[in-house]
Structures are given as C-alpha cells and as structure tokens.
Structure 1
Amino acid sequence: MTHVYGLAFVAAVVILLVKLLSIGKRPKNYPPGPPTLPLIGNLHQMPTRDAHLQFEKWAREYGPVYSLMLGTKTLVVLSSDKAVKDLLDKRSGIYSHRQEMYIGQELCSGGLRVLMMPYEPRWRMARKLVHSLLNVSAAKSYVPYQILENQQMLSQLLEDPDNFLHHIRRYSNALTTTMVFGWRTATYEDAKMQQLFDGFSEFAELNQTGMAAMVDFFPLLRSLPDFLLPARQRARELHKKEKALYLDHWLKAKEETTNGTIQPCFCEELVKSQKTEGFSDDQAAYISGTLLEAGSDTTSSTLYAFVQAMLLYPEVQKKAQAEIDRVVGRERLPNMDDEMDLQYVRAIMKETLRWMPTTILGAVPHAVTQDDWYEGHLIPKNAGVLNNVWAINMDPVRHPNPRQFMPERYRDDRQTLADAAANPDATKRDQFTFGAGRRICPGIHVAERSLFLGISRILWAFDIEPGLDANGKPIIPDPEKLTQGFVCMPEPFQARITPRSKERAEVVREQWRRAERECLDPGTNQWKIVPPGIRRGK
C-alpha cells in the first residue's frame, strides 16, 4: 500500500511539474511570437519604456498577428488594419471583453472604472448612457460650449503664450466638465482639475510598474502581505482620493438637477437613469468620472502634439493658414460651418492623430470570450487582444515615410473620424487612435469638433515657431520623445506662439470680452444662460 501511495505522490509531482513548465510556453497552434522562457514566457522581454517601439519591432518580425506569453496569460497583438477590422470590429460580440486587472480595476478603481469593466450587463448599461451624451446629434448641440472654451483658450494664448499646455488642458477639461456636470473649469489652477491630472499620472505609474504586471500574470502573488506588495496600498489610497473627487462632482450635479438649477449636461440624464436602473452613487460617479478622464486628457494631448508638428513643419503651417485666409478671411474666426471648406485643416487634424497617437497601444487590451481561429492560428479564450495603434499608424505600406508629418495623405478623405472607423474597407480607415469595435471611444464625435475648432482657430490667430535658447538659436524638440502611460503625448517642449497681426489679436480679445459679458456670471465665471442650440434633457 505504501508503494502505491509513493507512486501516486510521484505521479502528482510529475503532473505538477509538467503544468508548471507549461506556464509561459507558447502552444504550437498559437500565433507566432518571440522565444519564451519557462514560467515567465516573454515577461523578461517586456520594455519598461517606449513599449510601442518594441511592439512595432515584433510586428515587423513576426507578422500582423503575433502572441506574447506573459506568465499565466496570453496577449495577442493585432498590428494591421485588416486584423483589427476582422476581429475587433466584425467579431466584436466575442472581442469586447477585458482581462482581469487586479491593480488597475480592482484596487485603483474599486471595480467601477468603465474603461476596464468586463463585457457584462453593467458595462453595456453604462455604454448606452454614455452614447446618449456623445452620439453625433448630441455632439453637434454642444458646439456653443466648445466655442466659448475655445475663445478663452485663444485669449490666454495671446496674453500668456509660454504656458500654452496649461491653456490647452483647461480648454479640454472645461469643455468636459460643462458637458458632463454642468459647470466649467475657469482657470488652470482649479484644485479639482489639478487633482484629476495628478491622478492620471499616478494611475499610469502604478499600472506600469513591474509588480502591477506580475500580480496580474501570477495571481498567487496577491496573497503576499502588504509590506511585500506596496503597490497595493498605493492603489487603494489613489482609489480613495479619486472616488471622493468623482463622488463630489456627481453629488453636486445630482443636487442641482433635483433643484432645477443645473446647466444642460449628461448628469441630468444620469439622475433619471439612476432611478430606473437602480445603480449606486459610486457607480454613477465613475460613469461620469470616466467621461471626465477621457475628455480631459486625450484632446489636450492631441492639441499639444499639433503645436509640436506646426513648429517642426512650418511649410504645413503656412499652407493651412493660406487655406484659412482664403475661406474665412481676416475679420472673423473659423467656425463649424467652415469645416468642409477647410479640407487641409481637417487633414492636419487627422495626420496629428496618426502621427502622434495618444492611445499609443490602444489604452487597454480587449479580451476574447471564447476560443477563436484566425488565419490558421488559435486565439484562446480569455486572451488579451491588443490594438497595436502605433504599428498600424506607422505602417509604411499604409503611410509611406510614416514619421513625416504629411497632411496630404488625407487630401481626398472627407470622412468624419467615426465614418472612417466604420468603413468596411479597412484600408480606408484614417487612423486607429480611437480604438475599435464596441470599445471604440464614444467621444469621437465631440473630439473631432473640439480638435477642428482648436486647430483652425489657433492657425487663424497665431504663428507657431520653436522656442529660443540663451543665444537666440531655435530649440527643436525631438518628436520621438514621448511621455509614458495609457495616454501619451510629446515630452515638454518650448514654442513661441505669437499673433499673426494686431488686427487678429484684437478680434481674439473682443470675442472673449463679448463672450464673458454675454454668457458668464462675473462673480462665478459660470454660465448665466443656456446657450442657443444646447439640448436640454427630456
């Protein structure tokens, strides 16, 4: 009997060893990828900075669909327009899930962050609510909000050009808070906006640490005590502060909705939906907070990249200004009615999104809910599926000389950003920065208008040139140096932003003075009227 037990023990040990050694190993029927090591797979090859460059390099080496074995998990990387269209778009019913993210979703977000939610009824409910705010019809109605915030940004660029990033960030944040909560961010120094952007940085840092990845890829590590897993306590503290911020925003909007004093905004509808759907204040806070995150960071990062492109490519800037002068003239600012006549400006917007994609690796990977086969390879159930935005946007077949900023690529492309994303011909999609499938950014319609107004009006009013060093020589920024995180942008750089003429400067000043006088309460700098065209919730 002892002999039998001994054999059983040996067999159990052998089975355990075989299972352990299979961790990190790539099965033969998976998409190809770099060589693996036992247990860790490709974890040792994952870069700590500029991951987009390594992911692009692997795409050129292993093809448009390759796999990475990351401990106990599999990540399939899609690096071609065709693969993204075939899987994330056409098979979105099974490719819209998320892998479990212990640090990012459970600890940093209390399971509430819509961006990281699994494909379940709770996410679908939130998505439906968000669509009511951001569909194309609603997006058009918010243009008066965008115009006013744009006017303040131009005025600030005129009076304080050195802090142009601050003014761009306030523009995108104020527009988002108005659309979502009914109040605007009047100054860059606003403590709540500062907390928001500081939280972005801390969230990105926490989720890019080696330990965050390790506890995702090896769940057993979650049983470690806190002193051996310091990221856990940091994540909990971040969630505590973030939740308090989002709850404060939401409860204020909820109270103003009840009192009938709120400006037309998303939270009006969210209050009504809470009564019918029964979700908690915590969840409502994160639904609205998710919109605040997305609208505040991505638009400002893209406009910052646009400024860099203009100082690096002055000939593009001059060509765009000539188009604006021809269509708009010198006595007024461009508006949305000019959009279809400013095709080169629209091309600059699209090229900025391609050339410097903010969601450089698709923000958060999708996940597949069942085994699937694609071009002879198995994509296993629960595998992460990454939209390799940088590699697709930089594909030299799609875009010759991809690191050159060339708006001419889009000279005949009159699609909206959303139309291009939905085009059944994958080769006709303009860029991949907004994601794909059912997880595509719902703010794409609003972002397009914010970007067009920002780009066209800055070019109408200002010249953009490199900053100067102590000897008066131009300081040329390196466009390959990017910040790190879920949303990236160029590293800080200097630029000289000067009015194109005294007359244009006076137009900018007068437009803002009039907007302040007619639209804003002088004591609070908040809207004192409901602007014409803004849609009030039913």
Structure 2
Amino acid sequence: MMLPLTPILGAIATIALIVRVLLIGRRPRNYPPGPPTLPVLGNIHQMPTQDAHLQFEKWAREYGPIYSLMLGTQCLIVLSSDVAVKDLLDKRSAIYSDRQEMYIGQVLCSGGLRLLMMRYGPTWRMFRKMVHGLLNVVTSRNYVPYQMLENKQMLYELLTEPEGFLKHIRRYSNALTTTMVFGWRTPTYEDRKMKQLFDGFSAFAEINQTGAAAFIDFFPLLRKLPAFMLPAQNTARELHTHEKALYKGHWMKAKEDIRNDNINPCFSIGMYDAQKKDGFSDDQACYISGTLLEAGSDTTSSTLYAFVQAMLLFPDVQRKAQEEIDRVVGPHRLPVMDDLADLQYIRGCMKETLRWMPTTILGAVPHAVTQDDEYMGYFIPKGAGVVNNVWANHMDPKRHPSPREFNPERYKDDRQSLGDAAANPDGSKRDAFTFGAGRRICPGIHVAERSLFLGMSRILWAFDIAPEIDGNGKAIIPDPDRLTQGFVCMPEEFPARITQRSKGRADTVTKEWKDAERECLDPTTKQWLQSPIEGVKALRGVS
C-alpha cells in the first residue's frame, strides 16, 4: 500500500527548512576561526553592548590575525594585524572596498545618501573623486591660512577660558571644516548648528552601535515587524529628518553664495559645477558636503582632546615636548608648519596620540568583499564584512611594547607623513590605522595632520597642562580607558588645569589673535573680510 505523496513531500520540505534555519549562524569549516556559535544567532549573543573594542582585541589574541564572526545571516571577517590589513584592504582594494547593506545606518538614518556607507560603484567613485579634489596632499596646502586663523582663536580661548577647553577644541575643528567645505567659519561655540552637528553625530554613532540595529541588519525579515516592536527604526528616521535639514540648509546657502559670487574658496564651488554637469540631486550634494563637515569636525577634535588627556597623565612627555619646542622655536613666536621637520618629538606625540586613543576604534564602518577570496588558507565569502581592528593593531605588544603607555619615542626615527606611512608597502612601517585603509582611507588625512600638528605644538608652546584639584585638594586623574561609545569615540569628559607658561607667551597669544581678528575678519559677522587663498576660480571643476 503506497502512502500519499503530498504529506511525505510536505514533511521533507519541513525538515529541509528546519535544517536550513539551523545552519544560519554556523561557521563553515573553511572560514577563518572564531568563537563558538549558536544556531541562528551565530555570535550575535556574544557581541558586547559596551567597549566592543576590548572584546575584539581579546578574540584577536585568541584566534589570530584573521578571525570570523557569524552574525545571523551575515559573516564578519576581522583583520587584527598590520600584515592582514595591508594584504587585503590595501593590496586587494579592488575587491575589498564595498560596504554591506546597512539598513539602520544608511537607509533609515541617511536616506541612502551617506558617502561613508555607500556601496562601492560608479556613483561612489564619482563623489570620492570630488572629495579627493578638496583634500589631496597638494590642494590641502592651500587651506593652511584657514587653519592658522582658527588655531589662533583656539589658543586665545584657552588662555581666557581654560576650563572650556573641549568646546574650544571643537570650535577649532568645526570652523576649519565649515570654511573648507562651505566658505564660512563658525566664530563661536554657541553656534546652534554646530551643537546640532555634534549632538546629531553622537546619536547617529550610538544608534548604529546598538543591538537593535545589528538584529535588523543581520535578520532582514525583522524589518517587516510593526514599528512599535522596533522603536530604533523610528528613531533613525527622526535623526535623518533633522540631519538632512541641517545639511541641506548649509548646501543651499553655499549655492546661493556661489551664484552671487560671494564665497571663499571651498569644496562647494567644485561640487556646484559637478552638479550642473552630472545632475545629482541637492539631497545627495547636501549629504556629501554635510558628512565631510561631520567627519572633519568630530575626529580631529576627539584626537586633540585625547592629546590633552595624555599630557595630563604623562607629565614627563609634556616636559620633553616643551623642551624640544623651546629649543627649536624659542619663546617669542608660535610654531609654524615649517617647524615640523625639526620637531620630531612633537611628530611622535601626534602619531602616538592617534595610536594610543584611536577615534575610529574598530575602523568606523566595515569594508565588504565583492567576490569570493582566499587568504592564509581560509575562505572569505563574497559579501562578508571586513573589519579593520584598529584597537587590536594599536595595542599589539609585538608592535608596541607596553601599549597603554604614551611613548612618542616609538617614532623617533619615523619621519613619514601620516599619508606616506599609510601608503608604505610594508605594513609594519605604518604608524596608525585610525584613518582607514585602501580605497576607503580617510581623504582628510593631510588636512588632519596639519591641524593636529599646529594644535599640539602651539598648545604646548603656550600652556602647561595639569590635573584639576578637587575640593579636598586631591588631583583628579582621568581614567584613559573610559571612552564614549559608538564607532567613533573619544575619552569621557574630564577636567584639566590649563595655565599660561609665561606672561610673554600669553601676550603673544593675545596679540596674534587680536591682530588676525582686526586684519582678517568683519567686526560684526566675524567672517573673512577677504579670502587668504588666491584663485577662487581654481577650485571650479574640482570634480
């Protein structure tokens, strides 16, 4: 007697479905090693909600320079050595420059417009070329006058209101970036739009680090659930609404200034011409310029803030750095860019700050591979995310003995610029991995180097940095391992005592700023009276 065929086929289909579901999250044998998995979840249950960099470093010590994490339906490859980063993200950049789909970060938070998270392809390459036109090693030199002015204001603010040092550092980096991108400067920290930028980016980084975002990314079926069950989606949409309004307001003002021939040399000039040629939308243009503003404002200020903490915690380093500055520069003038070649210890302080407290602590956003690949005998599947494990590389005791010690002597013989070090074909000769790698490397690396050098050398020329004293007369010592959360981070806020090194130096700081303010800025608007950069027209056609 034959059994009915339909129930048998149904049972087989059910079993096949169950097996298929149970295989989700399982690590195939030929993948790089990694922590044990659970069916369906893979390693999601092991992903930390706080200080993820510490767990990623721990796994690197346990599983080696390349390991894998199975996150639901997706695979994440983690690169935790200088050689692995160089071999894959740099040397094989043609296939390691994509992004995975990021539903919360790119679709909901950014309307699909954020260059940082955009998939690799013709559109990304076109926009990347525009950005390169603003920030490449040759063009970026033109913006030194902008950096000098904003630096002088920061020094004066540190002199007159030292307890607000974080806000002065943030204004410095933001004002420089707005001038480079839009042609106007941020004269005061109380600027509402600057506060919105920093607050908005913090919220963006935080929501993209949550478990809810991960589950929605790694299990796409969850996106069909009712909104009340996934409040992160509504939060993301609200962030995008406010962020887009901010960015679009900046861009539309820049367009108006360009049409009225009333704009300083900046990136928006080249993008205006590119938009007329290529026809991309104002929404896309505002996100390209807006996220440049976001990146330039946040990462430079976070690094300078970490530098202040390092000088507070390592007074011997501060003393050695000031001795070098005094020997090379003397007490009567501020350091300038031409002094960099003779301030090797300061160069070391800059590189050591980037290593000791990397702002993009896990490489910001993972790369993705566009085709199946093999490395060290392991299979890397098409579509896998690829993490540049910056913290683990920087804290590798084989590369950097006593890695939590701030020691600029590590770079006493390293005279490479940050860009040259990143491009060095020998991965072991790279100083820091903070700026990323391959075709996704941060294009602002050259501008950042100048801003950091001017900031660090001049702060130490003018000021002493020491711990603040509490009500009981005890020094307040910050914990360098207490960091803000998100894919871009910085030290948790801490107090510090910043005092002038001498009256003569304080007088120089005051005179430099007052002269610049009088000669360069409109007394009412505090905007440039006349651009210090020749040839606005030269930036037309940056694309």
TMscore range, shorter length: over 0.9
Q: Equivalences for 1:93-492 in 2 at 5 Å?
A: 93-492=94-493
Kept in 2, the 8 Å contact 1:141–1:534? The answer is no
Could you say which residue in structure 2 is the equivalent of 1:84?
Answer: 85
Residue 200 of structure 1: CA displacement? 1.1
Over the aligned positions, Cα root-mean-square deviation in angstroms equals 0.9
Structure 1 distance, partners of 2:456, 2:142, is 20
Structure 1 distance, partners of 2:238, 2:313, is 41
Could you say which residue in structure 2 is the equivalent of 1:510?
Answer: 511
466-475 vs 511-520, which deviates more? 466-475
Q: Which amino acid aligns with 1:12?
A: A
Residue 534 of structure 1: CA displacement? 7.1
User: Percent identity among equivalent residues?
Assistant: 72
Residue 211 of structure 1: CA displacement? 1.1
Structure 2 distance, partners of 1:334, 1:272, is 37
Structure 1 distance, partners of 2:470, 2:306, is 21
Instruction: Give the match's secondary structure for 1:215.
Output: helix
Structure 2 distance, partners of 1:471, 1:226, is 51
Instruction: Give the match's secondary structure for 2:12.
Output: helix
Instruction: Give the match's secondary structure for 1:98.
Output: coil
Q: Deviations over 1:456-478 (max 9, x none)?
A: 00000000001111122111111
Residue 418 of structure 1: CA displacement? 0.5
Q: Deviations over 1:287-314 (max 9, x none)?
A: 1011101100000000000000001111
Residue 205 of structure 1: CA displacement? 2.1
Structure 1 runs not aligned, ≥5 long: none
Structure 2 runs not aligned, ≥5 long: none
Structure 1 distance, partners of 2:223, 2:533, is 54
Could you say which residue in structure 2 is the equivalent of 1:524?
Answer: 525
Q: Deviations over 1:66-123 (max 9, x none)?
A: 0000000000000000000000000000000000010100000000000000001111
Structure 2 distance, partners of 1:324, 1:410, is 17
Structure 2 distance, partners of 1:210, 1:23, is 18
Residue 202 of structure 1: CA displacement? 1.2
Instruction: Give the match's secondary structure for 1:464.
Output: strand
Kept in 2, the 8 Å contact 1:50–1:484? The answer is yes
Residue 15 of structure 1: CA displacement? 1.1
Q: Number of aligned residue pairs: give it.
A: 538
- Residue 17 (structure 1) aligned with residue 18 (structure 2): yes
Runs of 4+ in structure 1 off by over 4 angstroms are 532-536
* TM-score with structure 1 setting the length: 0.99
Instruction: Give the match's secondary structure for 1:180.
Output: helix
Structure 2 distance, partners of 1:263, 1:351, is 35
Residue 230 of structure 1: CA displacement? 0.9
Residue 2 of structure 1: CA displacement? 6.9
The verdict on how the C-alpha distance between 1:401 and 1:499 changes in structure 2, with shifts beyond 3 A counting, is same
Kept in 2, the 8 Å contact 1:144–1:533? The answer is no
Structure 1 distance, partners of 2:403, 2:487, is 22
Kept in 1, the 8 Å contact 2:143–2:533? The answer is no
Residue 138 of structure 1: CA displacement? 1.0
Kept in 1, the 8 Å contact 2:265–2:533? The answer is no
Q: Deviations over 1:394-440 (max 9, x none)?
A: 11000000000000000000000000000001110001000000000
* TM-score with structure 2 setting the length: 0.98
Residue 135 of structure 1: CA displacement? 0.2
Kept in 1, the 8 Å contact 2:149–2:516? The answer is yes
Structure 2 distance, partners of 1:2, 1:226, is 46
The verdict on how the C-alpha distance between 1:359 and 1:534 changes in structure 2, with shifts beyond 3 A counting, is farther
Could you say which residue in structure 2 is the equivalent of 1:59?
Answer: 60
